[in-house]
Amino acid sequence: MIGLTSSTPAFRQVCSGCARRIRLPTSVSAPVPRRSLAAGPRTLAPFSTVPLAYDLHEPAKPVADKQTSPIIIMHGLFGSKKNNRTINLILTTLHQDLRNHGESPHEERHDYTAMAADVADFIRQHGLKESTLIGHSMGAKTAMTLALHEPDLVANLVAVDNAPVDARLASDFARYIQGMKKIDEAAVTRQAEADKILEPYEKSLTIRQFLLGNLHRPAGGSNAQKFRVPLHILAKALDHLGDFPFKDPGEVRFVKPALFIRGTQSKYVPDEVIPLIGQFFPKFELVDVDCGHWVISEKPEEFRRAVIEFLEPKE
């Protein structure tokens, strides 16, 4: 979600240290077999990671003989790599499906340490350098976790409407899962049927359409639509998705640039947590946008301008 041209100083800053141009397939689902991350000082955890599906969006006018180090965009709960594709991007971007979402594999473990390890593994496998991480909600905490644990993999960070704190997840998400389970049980064949079932659980048509974007028709001949996301796994994970794996900013900090964008009508980044953000991310900037939790879709131009300004070189 960057609007910089490849000739600006900001582009060179984002891509400093790059030696070659990225060449990845434009869309990948499960690109490599799963493997275990060996425990060590530069890895997140000694558990199995999953290969992340992604879409690659390259600039229309790439810079010859230069690598454009990518912006990695991570969605929130129930989202996918299909989200936010309409925002004009000029730099190379990778829209990822986090584990248990979109076309990425399902795995019983679903927490921020595991999701960050998946992204770290992806960055290493593809030899990416100086990446910019942009994450919304669940994706924001995933990006923060990775930046704090393995700062060498990250050039800078944009966290959208979430903070590095333990907080109770909104009850809306549990309600959504209840409605989505009802849809799976009903074996609907049309989205209009699914929407009618979901309406008592969520009045907003926009949010219902967002959730129903996870429906698909599994292979096998049946015309019934099912949710692509594993509802049973996400339901079990809800109690912990409000948590943040780091508790003590005296032990770990990310000292590179970080931008926090919050919706002023959202409750996820209250004023009282701002000092803690500054302790974990001492070079952070804060931008307020007059909207709710869904900042990028509600106010896409304000979001884009905030990121552009953040990436521009400072005087």
Average pLDDT across each block of 10 residues of the chain; the chain has 315 residues. List them in order.
29 28 46 36 64 86 56 95 72 90 96 96 92 96 97 96 90 93 95 97 93 90 90 95 94 96 95 97 97 91 89 72
Helix axes 172-186, 205-212, angle to 10 degrees: 60
The pLDDT of residue 208 is 94
The pLDDT of residue 211 is 95
**Rounded Cα distance, 266 and 161, in Å:** 8
The pLDDT of residue 87 is 66
**Rounded Cα distance, 115 and 300, in Å:** 25
The pLDDT of residue 314 is 67
The pLDDT of residue 6 is 30
Exposure of 250 by Cβ count < 10 A (0-12 exposed, 13-18 middle, 19+ buried)? exposed
C-alpha dist (Å) from residue 60 to 94, 125, 126, 276, 307: 15, 25, 22, 40, 20
Looking at the DSSP bridge assignments, the partners of residue 259 are 158, 285
Residue showing tokens 């704190």: 165
C-alpha torsion 56→57→61→67, nearest 10: -40
- Which tokens go with 67? 């690598």
Residues with catalytic roles = 137, 293
Ordered domains of the chain (ranges, CATH) = 9-167+244-311 (3.40.50.1820), 172-238 (no CATH)
The pLDDT of residue 231 is 97
